[in-house]
């Protein structure tokens, strides 16, 4: 496997060079993006400047026949948080890049002028082509144009208008199996960094390439079989997620009293049934969409789906739980069609749905629109796409919007919006939000497992005891899983079924011919977190940044009427291992 570096600021125009992994040998996904950022990006550089790098890295098992292995990591210094960032996505391009032999594509430097480029990667190498006709296209129109030019067997990695305008809420889109730009590395403004590099789209064509070959094909195949059986037999990965997608959580989290409603004012949304996963699945089926669908080939859990409008025409992929919450309950919007339209607009402009939903919630609290007003929310997102002055404020996220509108209750950590679980009702996730090097991020250490779902044990969600240890263990495990290219949802089965965790180890060992143990995996997770923490510390982050906003300590959240209980001094022990 090799690294391709594309220097967008080279004399005489962008230049490509390829090199072996070298010092990064044995790394993939998040381990690789975070290692490159820590080693090569000056922590104090401007995120939109020439010294920042955007790294797109498939995982260790991506491009193989292992189930669930098509995820991709996108890393850089974040324009939203000012710290290190890894944002993760599904879609097809990751598998294609890996089959072409790329462990990472690194965009470096800064173009000399405002020419916009497309990059074409195939078995014949990498071409960089100026193409100003792509300027300010939405992701959907852009992909259609690429299909006409390069055919239907490609994958696209792209930015919409938000990335071109270098907004801190901008995402990088990856096309799905239907060649639609629906899978996003959403968090932290990674799309703004791609925009700053002057790259609109990377078109990947793996025609003529084969699956990556394991060292021991028969044992690898046998481990994959055990791995898939393990996923099928666990109730979350075998039943809940396939039937209703992640939105199965709306009723569950609402019932637990931790569903952040009306910009984190209440822990229950009275109308949640109208936007639940159950209602969503019924609607999708009734309109000829799909309630069970994968975001890439080889996904056996299939938590995604396809959402049609009232007339039975494709509108968007199935909006997932965090999107439905952000653009729904958080804004008191209870209309699934409006939420689906907001999701479609975010995908087209290339925006993080969590950041945008939290931003609209803050804007509603700042009286820019009324809570529950779906048409107003749609108009606000359209402002972002048009790049009006108001749109540019909103597109830079909840923290900027809160400042501009004089709103005190702004749910962010390290400048990044908190997702769909209130830390006063699920205290363990609050520890992750506060301490993750990524800023407010549920996936970094998903304590909802033991706090609510009773997966991997049980820790009372309303008490501070045990939450730091829970979040620590999950953050370590997550960093490691994010490096394999595996979808994080396999973790439900890994946490409860030692034999499924063993099957994952066997996949890695039979592919690479190594002898990884569970301890090695833990060590890998710790090393990644250490790299990330060190980068953030050099970028100016201190213990004060590992805290939730004030109002979580002061305002009790109904129905449990609790504040966030975990003390600062305990949060500061999270990385002591
Ligand atoms: S489980 Fe869902 S998010 Fe994970 S790979 Fe499958 S469709 Fe994508």
- Measured in Å, residue 90 CA sits from the centre of ligand 1 at 7
Instruction: Give 552's DSSP letter.
Output: H
Q: Find out whether the peptide bond into 559 is cis, omega within 30 degrees of 0.
A: yes
Task: Decide whether any atom of ligand 1 lies within 6 Å of the 487 Cβ.
Answer: yes
* Per-residue pLDDT at 103: 98
Parallel, antiparallel, or unpaired for β 117-122 and 199-204? Answer: parallel
* Per-residue pLDDT at 280: 97
* Per-residue pLDDT at 59: 98
Task: Decide whether any atom of ligand 1 lies within 6 Å of the 299 Cβ.
Answer: yes
- All residue ranges of the chain with pLDDT < 50 are none
* Per-residue pLDDT at 261: 98
What is the 3-state secondary structure of 219-257?
HHHHHHHHHHHHHHHCHHHHHHHHHHCHHHHHHHHHHHC
- Cβ neighbours, 10 Å, residue 132: 10
Residue 293 Cα: closest atom of ligand 1: 7
* Per-residue pLDDT at 270: 97
- Measured in Å, residue 92 CA sits from the centre of ligand 1 at 12
Distance of alpha carbon 552 from alpha carbon 525, whole angstroms? 29
Task: Decide whether any atom of ligand 1 lies within 6 Å of the 301 Cβ.
Answer: yes
pLDDT in tens, 471-480: 999 999 999 9
Where would I find the beta strands (DSSP E) of 37-124? 54-58, 72-77, 84-89, 102-108, 117-122
- Counting Cα atoms < 13 Å in the Cβ hemisphere of 378 gives 13
For ligand 1, atom 2: residue with the closest CA = 303
pLDDT in tens, 137-160: 999 999 999 999 999 999 999 999
Task: Decide whether any atom of ligand 1 lies within 6 Å of the 304 Cβ.
Answer: yes
Task: Decide whether any atom of ligand 1 lies within 6 Å of the 295 Cβ.
Answer: yes
Helix residue ranges per DSSP H, 185-320: 190-196, 217-233, 235, 241-244, 249-256, 277-286
Probe target for ligand 1 pocket from 91, 297, 304, with the most ligand atoms within 8 Å of CB: 304
* Per-residue pLDDT at 353: 98
* Per-residue pLDDT at 213: 95
* Per-residue pLDDT at 434: 98
- Measured in Å, residue 162 CA sits from the centre of ligand 1 at 25
Q: Which helix (H) or strand (E) holds 416?
A: strand 416-417
- Measured in Å, residue 1 CA sits from the centre of ligand 1 at 25
Task: Decide whether any atom of ligand 1 lies within 6 Å of the 294 Cβ.
Answer: yes
* Per-residue pLDDT at 11: 95
* Per-residue pLDDT at 524: 96
Both tokens of 287, joined, read 């309109």
Probe target for ligand 1 pocket from 59, 294, 319, 321, with the most ligand atoms within 8 Å of CB: 294
For tokens 């494709």, name the residue.
314
Distance of alpha carbon 401 from alpha carbon 346, whole angstroms? 17
Backbone angles phi, psi at 212, to 5 degrees: -70, 140
């Amino acid at each position: 496997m090799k690294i391709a570096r594309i220097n967008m600021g080279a004399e005489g125009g962008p230049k490509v060079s390829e090199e072996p992994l070298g010092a990064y040998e044995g790394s993939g996904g998040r381990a690789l993006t975070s290692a490159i950022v820590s080693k090569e990006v000056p922590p104090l550089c401007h995120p939109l400047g020439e010294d920042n790098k955007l790294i797109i890295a498939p995982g260790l098992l991506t491009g193989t026949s292992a189930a669930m292995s098509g995820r991709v990591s996108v890393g850089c210094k974040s324009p939203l948080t000012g710290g290190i960032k890894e944002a993760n996505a599904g879609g097809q391009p990751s598998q294609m890049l890996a089959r072409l032999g790329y462990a990472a594509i690194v965009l470096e430097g800064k173009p000399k002028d405002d020419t916009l480029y497309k990059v074409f990667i195939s078995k014949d190498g990498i071409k960089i082509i100026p193409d100003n006709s792509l300027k300010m296209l939405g992701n959907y129109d852009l992909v259609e144009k690429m299909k006409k030019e390069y055919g239907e067997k490609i994958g696209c990695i792209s930015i919409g208008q938000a990335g071109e305008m270098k907004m801190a809420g901008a995402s990088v889109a990856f096309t799905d199996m239907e060649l639609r730009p629906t899978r996003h590395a959403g968090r932290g403004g990674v799309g703004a960094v791609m925009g700053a590099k002057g790259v609109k789209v990377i078109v990947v064509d793996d025609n003529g390439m084969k699956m990556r070959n394991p060292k021991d094909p028969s044992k690898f195949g046998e481990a994959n079989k055990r791995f898939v059986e393990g996923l099928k037999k666990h109730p979350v990965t075998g039943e809940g997620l396939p039937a209703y997608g992640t939105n199965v959580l709306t009723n569950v989290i609402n019932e637990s009293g931790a569903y952040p409603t009306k910009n984190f004012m209440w822990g229950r949304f009275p109308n949640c049934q109208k936007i639940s996963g159950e209602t969503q699945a019924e609607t999708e089926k009734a309109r000829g969409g799909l309630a069970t669908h994968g975001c890439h080939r080889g996904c056996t859990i299939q938590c995604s789906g396809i959402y049609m409008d009232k007339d039975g025409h494709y509108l968007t992929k199935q909006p997932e739980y965090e999107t439905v919450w952000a653009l729904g309950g958080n804004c008191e919007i209870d209309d699934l069609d409006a939420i689906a339209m907001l999701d479609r607009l975010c995908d087209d402009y290339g925006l993080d749905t969590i950041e945008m939903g939290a931003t609209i919630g803050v804007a509603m609290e700042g009286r820019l629109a009324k809570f529950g007003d779906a048409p107003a929310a749609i108009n606000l997102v359209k402002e972002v796409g048009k790049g009006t002055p108001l749109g540019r404020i909103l597109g830079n996220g909840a923290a900027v919007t809160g400042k501009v509108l004089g709103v005190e209750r702004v749910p962010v950590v390290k400048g990044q919006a908190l997702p769909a679980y209130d830390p006063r009702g699920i205290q363990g996730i609050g520890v992750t939000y506060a301490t993750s090097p990524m800023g407010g991020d549920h996936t970094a250490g998903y304590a909802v497992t033991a706090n609510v779902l009773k997966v991997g044990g049980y820790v009372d969600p309303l008490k501070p005891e045990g939450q730091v240890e829970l979040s620590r263990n999950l953050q370590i495990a997550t960093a490691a899983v994010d490096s394999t290219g595996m979808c994080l949802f396999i973790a439900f089965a890994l946490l409860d079924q030692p034999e499924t965790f063993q099957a994952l180890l066997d996949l890695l060992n039979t592919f690479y011919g190594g002898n990884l143990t569970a301890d090695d995996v833990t060590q890998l997770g710790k090393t990644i977190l250490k790299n990330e923490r060190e980068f953030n510390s050099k970028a100016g982050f201190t213990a004060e940044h590992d805290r939730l906003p004030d109002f979580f300590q002061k305002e009790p959240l109904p129905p449990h009427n609790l504040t966030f209980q975990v003390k600062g001094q305990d949060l500061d022990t999270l990385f002591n291992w």
